[in-house]
Chain A
Amino acid sequence: MANRRINGRHLEKMLKNGLRNLVLHKEEVNRLNVFPVADGDTGTNMALTLRHGLSSAPSRNEVGAYLKPVSEGMLMGARGNSGVILSQLFKGMFTELSRCGWIGPGELRNALIRAYKTAYAAVVYPVEGTILTVAREGIEHIRAQIDRNTTIEAILSMYTAEMRKSLAFTPELLPALKEAGVIDSGAYGYILIFEGMLDQLYGKEHVVKKENEADAAPETAAASDTSLFNENSAFEEGYCTEFILQLMRSSEYDQHFDLKKFTSDLSLYGNSLVVAADGSRVKVHIHTKKPGRVIAAAQEYGEFVTFKLENMQLQHNEVLKTADENKKPLGIIAAVNGDGIAKTFSELGCDKIVVCGETMNASAEDFVKALSGINAKRVVILPNDKNVIMAAEQAARITGAENVTVLPSRSPAEGYYALAMDLPDSDDVERRVKLMNEGLQSTATLTESVAVRDFEHGDLKCRAGEEIVMLNGAPAASSTDWCDCIITALSQIPGIEDADSCVIFRGKDVSEEKEAILIQRISEVYPCLEATPIDGGQSVYHFIVGVSV
C-alpha cells in the first residue's frame, strides 16, 4: 500500500515503532560513544527523550494536535546533548506541521527541512559530522526529487538512505570519530527512529522485550514538606478525596444505587464535588473535612477500586510558605553523580541538587522541576558534565526565566571551584556569578577510569581494560598503572608547576588506601600542590582530580 497522506494516528504508530527500533538497537548506539569511557548513553538518552514525548501525547487524528504534546514532552524530557538535539528536531517538525490535519509529501519535506534548521539554531556551536549534518544532508540531497505524487514511503526510504550515506561520512568530518573508529552515535540513533517509522508503513512492527522497556526514567515524586502541618496548624482546607467505587452485587450492599441521590448526599459533606458513573463503577472527587462520612456513604453501595486522600492544608501552607518567604538573592542548582559529591555541593551552599544516575544524564525536566522548587531572584545552574549543559540550557529556555544563568561547568571539579569562589555573604549577585564563572574557568579536570574498548587518539593507544585518564574531556594518558596514568596527565596541564592546590573526588568503589597512594605520589612529584581529598562516591570515574591553575 502506498501512502500519500498520513494522519495523526498513523504518525503515532510510526513514531512508536521508531522508538521500539531505537530501543532494540540502544546498546549498539551506546557503544558508539566517541570516548572509550563507560558513559556511553546516547541511545539511552535518545530513547528516554522520545518516550517522554510519546507517553505524554494522547491519540489524535490531526497531525498538529498529536505532535504538539509530543514535541513539548520531548523538550521537557530531553536528556543529554543528543536528546536535546532530538527534541529540537521534533520541535522544528511540529512548528511546520502545527496547523496540519495530515501529512502529504510537501508537508513532510518541509517538516524535515524545518527540523534540521531548528536544531542548528538551537546549538550554539554546531559541529559537523553529527546528527545535525545527517539530518540536514538527508533532506537537502533529496528535496528536489519530492513532488506531490511522491509517496511517504518513497520519501522516508530516500531520507533514511541518504542519512545512512551521510552517517558513513561522519568520521571524515569529525576527527574524534575517526580516531575512535566509530560513526556518530546520535546520528545513528536518529536514523534508527526514521527506519522504524518506515518499517511501520511496510507493516513491520518491532517488538521490544520487557527488560528493554524497564530502564525508563525513575519518576521522582515531588514530596511535600510534611513539617508544614503540625499541632498548631489551622485546618481549613480539608482533604482532596478521590476514588473509584465499584458497585457490588452481593446482598450486603444496597442495590438501589441512584446517581442523583448519591450526588446530593455527598454534596452535604463538602464541595468541588464531581461524580461520574461508568457502568458499575462510579468516579468521585470531593473536597471535604470529613472524609469518613464520604467513605461510609460510598461503602453502602460497594468497594473502592482506587482511593486517594490528600491533606490540602499542607499544599495550601506550602503555597503560603513559598509566597511568604523572602526570595533568596541567588539560588544555586547543581547536577551531580555520587552521594559524597552531592553532600559537598550542599555544604558549599547549593540549594537544589539534581541527582544523576550512573550514566543517566539529568533531563531538561529535572532542571525545570528544580527551578520551580527554588525561590530566588536569580538562579545559577551548574550542570557539571558537558552532556548536561544543553539540558540545563533547554530548561532555562522552557521556563522562559531571564534570571537563570547556566554556568557551563563540565565536571564536578569545575562546579566545586565555582562554588568555592562564591561569596554567599555578598549582596552583589552579579559579582558572585562572575566569581563563580572565574572559579570554573581556571580549573583543569582529570578523570580516571578503565577503557571499555580499544582506542586510539593521536599518539595515544589504549586497550580495553587499561586505565585511561582524560584531561578536560580529551584522552591524555593511558597505562596499566592507574597512578602513573594520573601523574602523566597532570604533567600535561599548562601551568601545573605553579599550581598550589587540587581537589580529588574518590569514586564509589575506590579504597582510601588508593587515595593515600595518589596523594603521596602527587606530593612527591609536585611538592607545592596541596591535595584536598573528598569522598565523592561517583560512578564510572575512579578519581576526578580538579587542579586550580
Chain B
Amino acid sequence: MKNFIIMADGTCDLDKKVAAEYDVKIVPGHLVFPDKGDIPAFFDWEKVSRDQFYADLKKDPEGYSTSPANVEEFALAFEPYAAAGDDVLVMTISSGISGAFNFAGRAAEQVMKKYPQSKIEVVDSLRFGPGFGLMAIYASELRASGKTMEEVKAWLEENKNRFHQAGWLDDLSFVAKKGRLTHAKAFFGTLAGVKPIGEFDYNGLTTVLGKVKGAKKAYSVLLSYIEETIEDPGSQMIVIAQTNRLPQAEEYKKLLEEKFHPKKVVIRDVYPSCGINVGPGLMAAYYVGKPISQDLSVERAIIEKHAE
C-alpha cells in the first residue's frame, strides 16, 4: 500500500511536537505584527510569551492580521513530495473563511502538471483552529490504521460536519471584527461575566448559540450540550483550546473527564495565527459528535433548554 503525506495549513494550530507526533506537515501562512511587519506564522511561545502576546493583542487588535499561504507557497510545499513520488492529502481552513482552499487547489494543479505521476488531493475542512487540528489528527490516525488516501479523504468529506466546538468566547469583539463570527450584527466587547456559547456553523464560522451568565452556569450548560451532541465519548480524545484562560480550561478538563471518561482530554494553546482572530477570550472543547444541523436550530434549542 502506498504511503501518503498529510499536510494542513497553519490554521490547524498544531504545534511542532503534536505535528511531529501525528506526522502532519504544516504550511504555515503569514502573520502581521505591529512592530515586525509580515512574518511567517509560528506555533510556539519562544519569541513572545503567551500572556505577553494576548496582552499586546488586546491593546492593539488592529495592528495584527493573518493571511494564508499563497499559491506559490503551497506549490513549494507540495513539490518535494511530488518530485519524490509521494501522494499528498492537503487539508485547508474552511473556504467560508479564507481563500486557502482555492490557493491549495491551484497549486495542486500546477504541481501535478509538472509531475504527472503525482497525486495531490485537497480537502476543505470547513473548520478552523483547534477543530481543524483535531480533524487533521483523525486523518493521521486513519492513515495509521491502514486507510488509503482516497479512503481518508472520503471519511473527511463524510464526517467533517461532525466536528464540534463547545465553549465560550469572552471577548466577541475579535471574532466580530475579523469576520470569524457569522454576520455579526452588532459590535461586542467583553460582556462582564456573560459567556457567549459558541459552536461551528455548517461552514465552520463560529456562531453564538446562546448566552449564559457566569462561568459556573456556563460549565453546566456546556456539559449538557456536549452530552446531547457527542457520540461514543469513551473512544475519543477531546481537545480543549484556550487563548489565555488556562485555569478555566483546567476546570473544564476535570469536569469533562468526570462526566464522559474520554480516552483523554488535552489542553492546547491557541497560537497567533488563530489567536489574532479569536482574541484572548476563547475556552472551548472540540470533539466528534452528531452532524451539525444546517441552520443550527437543533443546537440552539439544546442550549436554550439547558440555559433556563
Interface residues of chain A, those whose CB is within 8 Å of chain B, are: 344, 347-349, 416-417, 420-426, 431, 435, 439, 442, 498-503, 530-532, 546, 548
Which residues on A sit within 8 Å (CB–CB) of B214? 499-501, 548
Shortest CB–CB separation between residue B269 and chain A, in angstroms?
A: 22
Shortest CB–CB separation between residue B298 and chain A, in angstroms?
A: 14
Partner of B182, one of A421, A425, A499, A503: A425
**B211 pairs with A420, CB closer than 8 A:** yes
**A502 pairs with B304, CB closer than 8 A:** no
**B193 pairs with A349, CB closer than 8 A:** no
- Complex Cα distance, B209 from A431, in Å, reads 12
| 8 sampled A-B residue pairs with Cβ under 8 A | A417-B192, A425-B182, A435-B211, A503-B193, A530-B193, A531-B192, A532-B190, A548-B214
- Complex Cα distance, B176 from A349, in Å, reads 13
Any chain A CB within 8 A of the CB of B210?
yes
Shortest CB–CB separation between residue B144 and chain A, in angstroms?
A: 40
Any chain A CB within 8 A of the CB of B189?
yes
Partner of B213, one of A423, A426, A442: A442
Shortest CB–CB separation between residue B189 and chain A, in angstroms?
A: 6
**A348 pairs with B186, CB closer than 8 A:** yes
A349 with B213: in contact, given A416-B192, A500-B193 (CB under 8 Å)?
Answer: no
Select from chain A the residue with minimum beta-carbon distance to B210. A423
**B193 pairs with A421, CB closer than 8 A:** no
> What secondary structure prevails in chain A residues at the interface with B?
mixed
**B185 pairs with A420, CB closer than 8 A:** no
A425 with B207: in contact, given A348-B188, A532-B190 (CB under 8 Å)?
Answer: yes
Q: Which 8 A-B pairs have the closest CB atoms?
A: A501-B193, A349-B186, A532-B192, A503-B192, A420-B191, A420-B194, A424-B185, A424-B186
**B208 pairs with A423, CB closer than 8 A:** yes
A548 with B192: in contact, given A425-B182, A435-B211 (CB under 8 Å)?
Answer: yes
Which residues on A sit within 8 Å (CB–CB) of B182? 425
**A347 pairs with B189, CB closer than 8 A:** yes
1/0 per residue, CB under 8 A from A, across B174-217: the answer is 00000000111111111111100000000000011011011110
Known: A442-B213, A500-B193. 9 other contacts (CB 8 A): A347-B189, A417-B192, A417-B213, A423-B208, A423-B211, A425-B182, A426-B300, A439-B213, A501-B194
Partner of B216, one of A424, A442, A498, A531: A498
**B211 pairs with A425, CB closer than 8 A:** no
Which residues on A sit within 8 Å (CB–CB) of B300? 426
- Complex Cα distance, B211 from A530, in Å, reads 18
- Complex Cα distance, B217 from A548, in Å, reads 12
Q: How many A-B residue pairs have CB under 8 A?
A: 71
**A548 pairs with B193, CB closer than 8 A:** yes
Select from chain A the residue with minimum beta-carbon distance to B303. A423
Partner of A548, one of B183, B213, B304: B213
Select from chain B the residue with minimum beta-carbon distance to A498. B216
Partner of B185, one of A349, A417, A500, A531: A349
Which residues on B sit within 8 Å (CB–CB) of A498? 216
The count of chain B contact residues (Cβ–Cβ below 8 Å) is: 23
- Complex Cα distance, B192 from A532, in Å, reads 6
**B216 pairs with A421, CB closer than 8 A:** no
Partner of A431, one of B191, B192, B216, B304: B304
Which residues on B sit within 8 Å (CB–CB) of A348? 186, 188-189, 191
Shortest CB–CB separation between residue A389 and chain B, in angstroms?
A: 23
Shortest CB–CB separation between residue B217 and chain A, in angstroms?
A: 9
A420 with B192: in contact, given A431-B304, A548-B214 (CB under 8 Å)?
Answer: yes
**B213 pairs with A532, CB closer than 8 A:** no
- Complex Cα distance, B193 from A431, in Å, reads 20
Shortest CB–CB separation between residue B200 and chain A, in angstroms?
A: 14
Which residues on B sit within 8 Å (CB–CB) of A501? 192-194, 213-214
Which residues on A sit within 8 Å (CB–CB) of B187? 347, 349
Select from chain A the residue with minimum beta-carbon distance to B300. A426
- Complex Cα distance, B248 from A530, in Å, reads 13
- Complex Cα distance, B208 from A425, in Å, reads 7
**A500 pairs with B194, CB closer than 8 A:** no
Which residues on B sit within 8 Å (CB–CB) of A442? 213
- Complex Cα distance, B182 from A424, in Å, reads 11
Shortest CB–CB separation between residue A519 and chain B, in angstroms?
A: 12
Which residues on A sit within 8 Å (CB–CB) of B191? 348, 420
Which residues on A sit within 8 Å (CB–CB) of B213? 417, 421, 439, 442, 501, 548
Interface centre among B184, B193, B214, B215 (most CB of A within 10 A): B193
- Complex Cα distance, B207 from A501, in Å, reads 23
Select from chain A the residue with minimum beta-carbon distance to B307. A435
1/0 per residue, CB under 8 A from A, across B265-303: the answer is 000000000000000000000000000000000001000
- Complex Cα distance, B186 from A423, in Å, reads 10
Shortest CB–CB separation between residue A298 and chain B, in angstroms?
A: 51
Shortest CB–CB separation between residue B114 and chain A, in angstroms?
A: 46
Shortest CB–CB separation between residue B111 and chain A, in angstroms?
A: 41
- Complex Cα distance, B214 from A499, in Å, reads 8
- Complex Cα distance, B211 from A502, in Å, reads 16
**A500 pairs with B215, CB closer than 8 A:** yes
Which residues on B sit within 8 Å (CB–CB) of A417? 192, 194, 213
**B208 pairs with A532, CB closer than 8 A:** no
- Complex Cα distance, B194 from A347, in Å, reads 16
Which residues on A sit within 8 Å (CB–CB) of B184? 424-425
Select from chain A the residue with minimum beta-carbon distance to B181. A425
**B194 pairs with A421, CB closer than 8 A:** yes
**A502 pairs with B216, CB closer than 8 A:** no
- Complex Cα distance, B192 from A417, in Å, reads 8
- Complex Cα distance, B188 from A347, in Å, reads 6
**A500 pairs with B216, CB closer than 8 A:** yes
Shortest CB–CB separation between residue A546 and chain B, in angstroms?
A: 8
- Complex Cα distance, B208 from A422, in Å, reads 11
Select from chain B the residue with minimum beta-carbon distance to A425. B208
Shortest CB–CB separation between residue B36 and chain A, in angstroms?
A: 30
- Complex Cα distance, B183 from A439, in Å, reads 23
- Complex Cα distance, B185 from A422, in Å, reads 12
Shortest CB–CB separation between residue B187 and chain A, in angstroms?
A: 5
Select from chain A the residue with minimum beta-carbon distance to B207. A425
- Complex Cα distance, B192 from A548, in Å, reads 9
Which residues on B sit within 8 Å (CB–CB) of A532? 190, 192-193
- Complex Cα distance, B183 from A88, in Å, reads 45
Shortest CB–CB separation between residue B242 and chain A, in angstroms?
A: 16
Interface centre among A416, A425, A431 (most CB of B within 10 A): A425
Interface centre among A421, A431, A442, A530 (most CB of B within 10 A): A421
Select from chain B the residue with minimum beta-carbon distance to A499. B214
Select from chain B the residue with minimum beta-carbon distance to A347. B187
Partner of A425, one of B185, B189, B190: B185
Which residues on B sit within 8 Å (CB–CB) of A503? 192-193
- Complex Cα distance, B173 from A344, in Å, reads 13
